[in-house]
A and B are shown apart, each in its own frame.
Chain A
Amino acid sequence: MGKRTDAEMPENPLEPYIESIRQQLEEQDPVLLVGVIVALAVVVITCVFLKYFLTSKTVRSAVLLVGLCDAGKTLLFIRLLSGKFKRTQTSITDSSAPYKAKNDRGSTWTLIDLPGHDSLRSQYLEKFKSAARAIVFVVDSAIFQKEVRDVAEFLYMLLTDTVVCRNAPTLLVACNKQDITMAKSAKLIQQQLEKELNTLRVTRSAVLSAQDGSVGGSVYLGKKGKDFEFSQLPMKVEFLECSARGSKGDDGVADVESLEKSLAKL
């Protein structure tokens, strides 16, 4: 107590002022008080907003799993995270989880599984493409022959996107479902995709302009005057084989080491 009185002593000359201020405050309208409080609240809200905007500007640390419907993205997502097998259905929204890469640095990426359905994929890609550090493009190798045009179209859309082109995230083409006997090899898939993308370059550049005048795909894929090859792209492209289901059925382990290795190198 003694200490406190000591501390108050030097403030003594100020006391009348404080007293008068307090009196003035009491004389004032409560409206003014409310005004002061509102001002304080505005400051607090501004701080919150600032934090909001600053945090939204994050480093690109997301690994996107994209691909057509039924390519096995969700199962791959589960396998990468926990190694377990789960049944899956068509996703109607994205799911994300932190993924610890299997390297010495122990770096952690956010693994995001995007829905593959035609009417959803562009919307979700729009949402996450700017955060992508790497894109895992999952292809169903078993029915690739049937879907080659759809796969190529999606890949074309992805590769000619301005944001993707600027950021140039690593592209991993995961040729999934290698456990099925009829599955195509990664090499064959790469060749077919190159051929198909070459054709698409022609047809897509002739596509009608949209109503608002914007022409689809302002980015030219690959080098002009040459047949398209993945090596011409600004980003690193890697083709690898994997099997999210695994060759030993539902209870067996997945065959995704090659993908894990590539993810570790990011």
Chain B
Amino acid sequence: MLDFFTIFSKGGIVLWCFQGAGVTESFTGPVNALIRSVILQERGGNNSFTHEALSMKYKLDNEFELIFVVGFQKILTLTYVDKFIDDVQLHFRDRYKNELEQKGALKHVNNSFDFEDRFKKLLREAEESSKARSPPPMRSFEKSEKSQKTVKSMIETKGGDKAKEQGGKKNKHTKKEAPAVEPAKGDQGKTPPSGQKAVVNGNQGLTPEEIIQKNREDFFRKRMMGPAEKPIKSPKPQKPKEKQNRVWNNGGSSAKNLDYSNKNGEASPGDGERNLDGRFDPDMQVSSMKGDLLSVDYESSEEGEMEEEEEEEVVVSETSKTSPKKSGGFGGMFGMLKGLVGSKSLSREDMEPVLEKMKDHLIAKNVAADISSQLCESVAKKLEGKVMGTFTTVASTVKQALQDSLVQILQPKRRVDILRDVMEAQSQRRPFVVTFCGVNGVGKSTNLAKISYWLIENGFSVLIAACDTFRAGAVEQLRTHQRRLNSLHPPEKHGGRPVIQLYEKGYGKDAAGIAMEAIAYARNQAFDVVLVDTAGRMQDNAPLMTALAKLIAVNMPDLVLFVGEALVGNEAVDQLVKFNQALADHSMSDKPRLIDGIVLTKFDTIDDKVGAAISMTYITGQPIVFVGTGQTYNDLRSLNARAVVGALMKA
């Protein structure tokens, strides 16, 4: 059933592999694809990957730096794979514990990991267990839980729910209120039901509203039903009126009422009913407000405490170890030292608070929300089970791992050297074509002008194709840039021919056609670079997206640059995904041209909220080629991954 199963070290040495019967193709290619497109792109959140006809699942063992990969045909739905991979990992670790604990990579080279027999056994077991577990037959009505239920039991469940609710609420109450409950209970135990009746009567006298009466009857009936409910109801009789009101007014907050009644009970345990009743009306209002606020307060204060705890954990990894230290004694101090010096493997629970904090930090730095959670998930996967070194805390380990991952994401995955590529095109006697696309107002034309200036400075001649035939003034804007650039680099210095020209056909024409003509013109006139300026378009505008896809499909530019502003937050994901999707959908070829690079504009306006850079590179996997940092032609930069990550991690 399985095509292959392979165990290799993170250093890339295959320790042991299994190939299914009749599988001839090597698994090296698919597994490499898995590593490159999932593990190295920090998309580790979900652990499966599909490559051509193969489905692969992997598991990282961070303690021994191993990777387990299983592959099978994607048409098969093998339910046991997840458990199987865990089992294999467990057995492999058990069996080769001693070998794997050696230092250095020699252990991978010199030891032979003969896992065949054990693996076969595990596989057989897994396959059998999956066969044995046939889909469960449908239950008949008689077997179902519902058949057991009567109307009565339904009512009881309601009471049970209440009890639960009450219990939950009670837990949340402070120590001050906690003892209040007890005397009330004690009272209840002593007072016979007749006392309760008296209370009810008093109520009746005071408030003759029918609704409340009915309510009270309900209450009574329920009370009679089972002794189990007595403790729940016990506080109620003392303040039935309050309870009844609350139930109807606020629905669901009945438990809170009970607590107020307790309070009152405490305040006047021995008072007569009339006395109580007399105080009820004003008291109820006050206490109800108090109650509601309190519960919110409690939650928030609890959250606050939790946050504090988290922070404590962030600062010192071993909170549990610091607390005994405070209590005094050497054991605590040694414990702390041991915690600091000794090695300890990271668990998910240890990392959870730190990761949560990191996620919030990333979001605060303008990284799109779902991307930051994916990143944190991936970091967690990478660190789980890893043995921490000496003098490191969970927080510092996680932070370091996240930093590495971010650098890794920003690091271009392919060579980015436009000048070299232009020279290559020059030697082939054809112009190098760059298309700019993006949503409205992100600075496509401005950055196009900056890039032309940079190209001209490096001795290339540039033709601008004005394919924004839509927005009023777009062509004039480009003409102004062209004039200014020509005056900066007068033709006399460049052998009498202008270094930059504008190719325009006015407004309302087909953009793809203009671009094609411009490229042909550039070829004839021996221009080195053609920069195609397109109209800004929102990613949801289907007709315009189709037009863009057509322009790119027809003209086959060497580079498709997406211009995005650094101010964008969550929207970055949507923009890039939809642009890529449109280009993929509307190109008629098998290998569609997608976005090849990103121009990040308005970078000077965002201070250290540089998250957009991460969002954009993460989604497309493409490098940020240029960064626009100001208004003048000089304000064009390349991205420094370390500087960006530094700004991002800065608190």
B residues near A70, Cβ cutoff 8 Å:
32
Binary flags per residue of B2-20, CB closer than 8 Å to A gives 1, else 0: 0000101111111001000
Binary flags per residue of B407-430, CB closer than 8 Å to A gives 1, else 0: 111011111010110011000000
- Find out whether the CB atom of B407 lies under 8 angstroms from the CB atom of A123: yes
Cross-chain contact of A208 among B67, B423, B603, B637 (Cβ < 8 A): B637
- Chain A 186-201 interface residues, beta-carbon cutoff 8 Å to B: 199-200
- Find out whether the CB atom of B420 lies under 8 angstroms from the CB atom of A203: yes
The complex places the Cα of A149 from the Cα of B422 at a distance, in Å, of 13
- CB of A61, distance to nearest CB on chain B (Å): 14
- Find out whether the CB atom of A199 lies under 8 angstroms from the CB atom of B423: yes
- CB of A254, distance to nearest CB on chain B (Å): 13
The complex places the Cα of A77 from the Cα of B105 at a distance, in Å, of 10
- Find out whether the CB atom of A211 lies under 8 angstroms from the CB atom of B420: no
- Find out whether the CB atom of B411 lies under 8 angstroms from the CB atom of A211: no
- Find out whether the CB atom of A203 lies under 8 angstroms from the CB atom of B106: no
- Find out whether the CB atom of B639 lies under 8 angstroms from the CB atom of A95: no
Q: Does B24 contact A (CB under 8 A)?
A: no
Q: Does B115 contact A (CB under 8 A)?
A: no
The complex places the Cα of A120 from the Cα of B108 at a distance, in Å, of 22
B residues near A90, Cβ cutoff 8 Å:
12, 31-32, 35-36, 40
- Find out whether the CB atom of A204 lies under 8 angstroms from the CB atom of B417: yes
- Chain B CB within 10 Å, residue with most, of A90, A96, A113, A117: A90
- Chain B 396-412 interface residues, beta-carbon cutoff 8 Å to A: 404, 407-409, 411-412
Cross-chain contact of B408 among A88, A113, A119, A210 (Cβ < 8 A): A119
- Chain A 166-210 interface residues, beta-carbon cutoff 8 Å to B: 199-200, 202-204, 206-210
Q: Does B275 contact A (CB under 8 A)?
A: no
Cross-chain contact of B330 among A37, A89, A117, A122 (Cβ < 8 A): A37
B residues near A69, Cβ cutoff 8 Å:
36
The complex places the Cα of A77 from the Cα of B104 at a distance, in Å, of 13
The complex places the Cα of A98 from the Cα of B12 at a distance, in Å, of 18
Cross-chain contact of A123 among B411, B417, B458 (Cβ < 8 A): B411
State whether A120 and B12 are in contact (beta carbons under 8 Å apart), knowing that A93-B65, A210-B643 are contacts in the complex: no
A residues near B639, Cβ cutoff 8 Å:
210-211
Q: Does A67 contact B (CB under 8 A)?
A: no
Q: Does B28 contact A (CB under 8 A)?
A: yes
- Find out whether the CB atom of A153 lies under 8 angstroms from the CB atom of B417: yes
- Find out whether the CB atom of A78 lies under 8 angstroms from the CB atom of B643: no
The complex places the Cα of A149 from the Cα of B419 at a distance, in Å, of 12
B residues near A4, Cβ cutoff 8 Å:
none
- CB of A216, distance to nearest CB on chain B (Å): 7
Considering the complex, give the chain A residue whose CB is closest to the CB of B413.
A118
- Find out whether the CB atom of B603 lies under 8 angstroms from the CB atom of A118: no
Q: Does A150 contact B (CB under 8 A)?
A: yes
Q: Does A82 contact B (CB under 8 A)?
A: yes
Considering the complex, give the chain A residue whose CB is closest to the CB of B42.
A119
The complex places the Cα of A16 from the Cα of B458 at a distance, in Å, of 90
Q: Does A43 contact B (CB under 8 A)?
A: no
Count the A-B residue pairs with Cβ separation under 8 angstroms: how many? 151
State whether A95 and B108 are in contact (beta carbons under 8 Å apart), knowing that A90-B12, A204-B417, A210-B638 are contacts in the complex: yes
- Find out whether the CB atom of B420 lies under 8 angstroms from the CB atom of A87: no
Q: Does A160 contact B (CB under 8 A)?
A: no
B residues near A119, Cβ cutoff 8 Å:
40, 408-409, 411-413
Q: Does A115 contact B (CB under 8 A)?
A: yes
The complex places the Cα of A74 from the Cα of B417 at a distance, in Å, of 28
Cross-chain contact of A87 among B17, B39, B626 (Cβ < 8 A): B17
- CB of A92, distance to nearest CB on chain B (Å): 5
Q: Does B109 contact A (CB under 8 A)?
A: yes
**How many positions in chain B have a CB within 8 Å of any CB in the partner chain?**
55
Cross-chain contact of B626 among A86, A199, A208, A216 (Cβ < 8 A): A208
- Find out whether the CB atom of B419 lies under 8 angstroms from the CB atom of A206: yes
- Chain A 87-134 interface residues, beta-carbon cutoff 8 Å to B: 87-98, 113, 115, 117-120, 122-123
Q: Does B454 contact A (CB under 8 A)?
A: yes
B residues near A203, Cβ cutoff 8 Å:
417, 419-420, 423
Considering the complex, give the chain B residue whose CB is closest to the CB of A118.
B413
Q: Does A143 contact B (CB under 8 A)?
A: no
Q: Does A39 contact B (CB under 8 A)?
A: no
- Chain B 63-109 interface residues, beta-carbon cutoff 8 Å to A: 65, 67, 104-106, 108-109
- Find out whether the CB atom of A208 lies under 8 angstroms from the CB atom of B108: no
- Find out whether the CB atom of B105 lies under 8 angstroms from the CB atom of A120: no
State whether A209 and B408 are in contact (beta carbons under 8 Å apart), knowing that A91-B12, A92-B39 are contacts in the complex: no
Q: Does A5 contact B (CB under 8 A)?
A: no
- Find out whether the CB atom of B109 lies under 8 angstroms from the CB atom of A81: yes
- Find out whether the CB atom of A208 lies under 8 angstroms from the CB atom of B638: yes
Q: Does B337 contact A (CB under 8 A)?
A: yes
Cross-chain contact of B14 among A86, A95, A115, A122 (Cβ < 8 A): A86
B residues near A211, Cβ cutoff 8 Å:
603, 627, 629, 637-640, 643-644
Binary flags per residue of B624-651, CB closer than 8 Å to A gives 1, else 0: 0011010000001111100110000000
Q: Does B110 contact A (CB under 8 A)?
A: yes
Q: Does B333 contact A (CB under 8 A)?
A: yes
- Chain A 44-80 interface residues, beta-carbon cutoff 8 Å to B: 69-70, 74, 77-78
- CB of B626, distance to nearest CB on chain A (Å): 7
Q: Does A214 contact B (CB under 8 A)?
A: yes
Q: Does A41 contact B (CB under 8 A)?
A: yes
- CB of B396, distance to nearest CB on chain A (Å): 16
Binding site for B on A (CB under 8 A): 34, 37-38, 41, 69-70, 74, 77-78, 81-82, 84, 86-98, 113, 115, 117-120, 122-123, 149-150, 153, 199-200, 202-204, 206-212, 214, 216
The 9 closest A-B pairs by CB, nearest first: A95-B11, A91-B12, A95-B105, A210-B640, A203-B419, A87-B14, A119-B411, A93-B10, A208-B638
5 A-B Cβ contacts within 8 A?
A87-B8, A113-B11, A115-B12, A210-B638, A211-B639
Binding site for A on B (CB under 8 A): 6, 8-14, 17, 28, 31-32, 35-36, 39-40, 65, 67, 104-106, 108-110, 330, 333, 337, 404, 407-409, 411-415, 417, 419-420, 423-424, 454, 457-458, 603, 626-627, 629, 636-640, 643-644
